[in-house]
Amino acid sequence: MKDFDVIVIGSGIGGLVSAGMLTSQGLKTLMIERHITPGGYLSSFRKKGFVFDSAVDCISGVGPDGLIYKTLELLNVNRDVNFIRIDPIRVSMFPNLEITIDGDVNAYMDKLTASFPPEATAIKSFFERAGRVYNELQSALSAIISGRLELNTITPDVLRLMDVSYGELLNDFFKDYRLKAVLSDRCPFIGLPPSGVSAVAMFNMIMSYFKLGAYRSTGGFQKLADVFIEGIKKNGGKVIFGNGVKKILLDRDDNCNGVRCENGEEYTASYIVSNADFNHTFRCFLGGKYSVLADALVYNPGITTSFFIVYAGIEGNIDTHSSIGYFPSYDMEKFFTSDMFFREDSTIGITIASIEDNSRAPDSCSTVVLHEMTGSSDKNLDKADCLEKIMKKAGNIIPLTEDKIIVLDAATSQTLERYTGNFKGAAFGWRQIPGFRGIRRHGIRNLYIAGHWGDMGGGVLAAAYSGAKVAGEILAKEGIKDVI
């Protein structure tokens, strides 16, 4: 008899959603996390009274209709964490143009139409199509999670757009290069330029914020991860921290039999869910012939960019928008080239979460988090020099003077890799390139991959859907359907 029904390796949002769904339906579940706290990229930290989210600006899916909220509801802990809706979602600053991204897509369309009157008809048609594609994707995802996917659920239009780049799609609709750049302002959220990212991936990410809202967790996203753990435990799940998995154990037929931990303890289970990055899963936990799969995936589709992140605690209240995208030019393709990182004319993202959530900073103070795209695990970075350049650039956008800085810290791609285990600090897992259909089959019938190294793409909500998809497949095998 197995020790557990399911073992979940890793406690990023994909692992948390998967373990939450499985535990809520009575499956005996063990979650193993090598760090002493859960969350992965959802983690937060405190310094001198300031609370900083390690990597995330805002997320969707935590409103009453969202997948993450529904999973918390299954665990009966949905009232144990509070969310603040961010509206406007973001402000994008371009040369001589500032566009506010309202939570209401119609209000956003009105702003775009006012700025680009000749494109009014195209703007309407573009968002009508984006809405249709998003709704069709949601129907397919719901069918997958419920265990009732049928072949005709995904329409020919969605299948075709999976092979089309977002840049190609923009060219089909619009003539004004500035408008195409404005509509690409969320590309840094997925780690690819318009020409390199799937149109479906971008539609899904953009529309999720309009349909489900943009939110932050009160007091930091660590609270969300912690509440998930509380819910998993309350529903009978077991969680181990500070003792990572060293090996996935296979039987003679190459089916998973269990895991061996770093301290030598072994646990058996009928199913294994890995929320660890692909490199650990295939090269370290499995090894041997499975290492080849890791090598192949690095080649195609490849991994996304990482970030250099600055955390600043500032004396004084900063009166501006809480999420800002700064783009010194309209050349969105150029921002994703390696020679553009850490230049005066490179793009950065700014998050000032203390504007809506004063629990994140001492009285009359502000938290500022700056994101600059960078290559994965660039070991030649001069951390102090990069920090200085980013602070100088940000100081041209928001008030940041040296004498007002109380806390100043930074994370490189190597820092992100060390604390989250993500290969080379990749921010969004696999590149969501046109034609990407998910990771190649590994042939192990009871091993599942959850998170942004799975089939659903990068970003918090996509990683959550990946975890839900895995849980839905396991539950269906156990005769349990229509959980969410």
| DSSP H or E run through 167 | helix 166-173
Question: Which parts of the chain register pLDDT below 70?
Answer: 149-153, 376-379, 440
Q: How far is CA 246 from CA 10, 33, 35, 241, 452, in A?
A: 12, 11, 13, 14, 21
Query: What does the block give as tokens for 97?
Result: 């143009």
Cα–Cα distance between 316 and 318 in angstroms, integer?
6
Nearby residues of 340 by Cβ (< 8 Å), 6 or more positions away:
334, 346
Report the sign of the C-alpha dihedral through residues 443, 256, 419, 358, in that order.
positive
Return the closest-CA partner of residue 474 out of 60, 70, 17, 78. Answer: 17
pTM for the full model?
0.96
Partner residues linked to 306 by β-bridges: 374
Cα–Cα distance between 20 and 31 in angstroms, integer?
10
Provide the 3-class DSSP secondary structure of residue 409: strand
Query: What does the block give as tokens for 358?
Result: 């004063």
DSSP state of 198: B
Residue 220's pLDDT is 98
Residue 460's pLDDT is 96
∠ Cα 197 203 205 (to 5°): 85
Q: How many CA atoms lie within 13 A of 440 on its CB side?
A: 14
Compute the radius of gyration of the chain from its Cα atoms: 22
Return the closest-CA partner of residue 413 out of 421, 424, 402, 403. Answer: 424
Residue 1's pLDDT is 74
Residue 91's pLDDT is 98
Q: Where are the beta strands (DSSP E) in 337-478?
A: 348-351, 365-374, 405-411, 447-449
Total count of residues recorded for the chain: 484
Domains annotated for the chain, with CATH where assigned, are 4-85+217-301+430-477 (3.50.50.60), 103-212 (1.10.405.10), 305-427 (3.30.519)
Query: With b meaning 16 or more CB within 10 Å and e meaning fewer, what string describes 94-111?
Result: beeeebebbbebeebbeb
Cα–Cα distance between 450 and 373 in angstroms, integer?
25
∠ Cα 73 77 78 (to 5°): 55
Return the closest-CA partner of residue 391 out of 404, 376, 378, 379. Answer: 404
Beta carbons of 434 and 198 less than 8 angstroms apart? yes
Beta carbons of 420 and 41 less than 8 angstroms apart? yes
Residue 41's pLDDT is 96
Partner residues linked to 6 by β-bridges: 29, 271
Provide the 3-class DSSP secondary structure of residue 309: strand
Q: How many CA atoms lie within 13 A of 210 on its CB side?
A: 21
**Start-to-end Cα distance in the chain:** 29
Nearby residues of 159 by Cβ (< 8 Å), 6 or more positions away:
none
Residue 468's pLDDT is 96
Nearby residues of 61 by Cβ (< 8 Å), 6 or more positions away:
67, 68, 69, 208, 212, 460, 461, 464
